[in-house]
Amino acid sequence: MRPRGTVLLASLSRTAVVLALASAAAACGSDPSGGPTLSVPAESATSAIACAGSGQVLGAGSTAQGNAIDIWKTAFSAACPSVTITYGASGSGAGIQQFTAGKVAFAGSDAALKPAEVDATKETCTGGQGIDLPMVGGLVSIVFNIDGVDSLVLDGPTIAKIFDSQITTWNDPAIAALNPGVSLPDAEIQAIHRADDSGTTDNLTQYLAATSGGAWPYPPAKSWAGKGGQSASGSAGVAAQVKQVKNSVGYVELSFAQTNNLDSAAVATGASKPVEATAANAATTIGTAQVSGTGNDLALTLDYGTDQEGAYPLVLVTYEIVCDKGNQPGTLDALKAFLTYTAGNDAQQAVGAKGYVALPEAITSKVRTAVAGLS
């Protein structure tokens, strides 16, 4: 296994931690969208950053969680200046490859490890294996840029057909039926998908498999399989392409939709009215997630086919993938300190104000327990 850094134990006074957190919180500001987030009991989560270690902790992977990591590493570095968190938002597939090659201490992925991927981690995690720690809650927003349209409703079958080139114009009868009274243009749809292997793609295709009634003929996967369309790298690339190309549609994590001021489609789920793409509505769905992993692996099962009132179905949970055993001793203390912070109330609420979804305490408490047991 390749070394991932050298760590010396360090500490910071409680007063300095509190001041640093206050400064970081002020710098983050507030989200103009005003999206509500889950309320997590403060007494059950870490209220301050407990520093340990020094040096550089490397991570890579999911672009969907990139904005969240930026917020967290800024606050953590302010409290713990002897530790540098470096994260390369290269996509979930690339992050897992770097992790299994021993190049990073953790990988971000919008999908839990597959059995073959778990096996591949065993060479890097001496005496152990990679495990999934849910850390970032979010939703996949269907973003659009249509001339003269700022409100749009879609459902599983129409989304599937749009991204597979089965529906090719915006005034198609299937779209018009979901949008009575909306003047849809007779314009060709420019569908934009991810060029790189992506956990966001995996979550979208999981949703399509569950809700399209067979209109999406491909198995869920990180690699794009739909016909036609344009491609772009990363969530930022898709968002930028949709913003630039008229009559286009794409899929990105909500924070990227907000950052780029893109409109998001509401989704018809079978509930009494279409469900808007908001953090609060995604929180309703994520709150029902069940742990399907074993031991300290906390992979979750999400209900993409929900028809619960106010439950946005196109959700995602991004995992931090780490070794349960066999972590490099040099980076272990700093890694555990950072992950303990990110699974705490302060960190979850900070990203909840920026287009993400604060994970329920029932999940984050299990994450903190698993992090404490890393070796």
Q: Which two tokens stand for residue 150?
A: 């700022």
Give the C-alpha separation, 78 to 218, whole Å: 46
CA distances from 187 to 157, 166, 169, 312 (A): 20, 15, 5, 28
Count of residues in the chain = 375
Tens-level pLDDT at each residue, the chain (375 residues): 433 333 322 333 333 333 333 333 333 333 323 333 333 333 333 347 999 999 999 999 998 899 999 999 999 999 999 999 999 999 999 999 999 999 999 999 988 999 999 999 999 999 999 999 999 999 999 999 999 999 999 999 999 999 999 999 999 999 999 999 999 999 999 999 999 988 899 999 999 999 999 999 999 999 999 999 999 999 999 999 999 999 999 999 998 999 999 999 999 999 999 999 999 999 999 999 999 999 999 999 999 999 999 999 999 999 999 999 999 999 999 999 999 999 999 999 999 888 899 999 999 999 999 999 999
pTM of the model: 0.78
Domains and CATH numbers, the chain: 14-137+321-372 (3.40.190.10), 140-285 (3.40.190.10)
HEC readout, the chain: CCCCCCCCCCCCCHHHHHHHHHHHHHHHCCCCCCCCCCCCCHHHCCCCCCCCCCEEEEEEECCCCHHHHHHHHHHHHHHCCCEEEEEECCCHHHHHHHHHCCCCCEEEECCCCCHHHHHHHCCCCCCCCEEEEEEEEEEEEEEEEECCECCCEECHHHHHHHHCCCCCECCCHHHHHHCCCCCCCCCECEEEEECCCCHHHHHHHHHHHHHCCCCCCCCCCCCCCCCCCEEECHHHHHHHHHHHCCCEEEEEEHHHHHHCCCEECEECCCCCCCECCCHHHHHHHHCCCEECCCCCCCCEECCCCCCCCCCCCCEEEEEEEEECCCCCHHHHHHHHHHHHHHCCHHHHHHHHCCCCECCCHHHHHHHHHHHHCCC
Query: First-to-last CA distance in the chain?
Result: 15
Of 45, 61, 26, which is closest to residue 319 (Cα–Cα)? 61
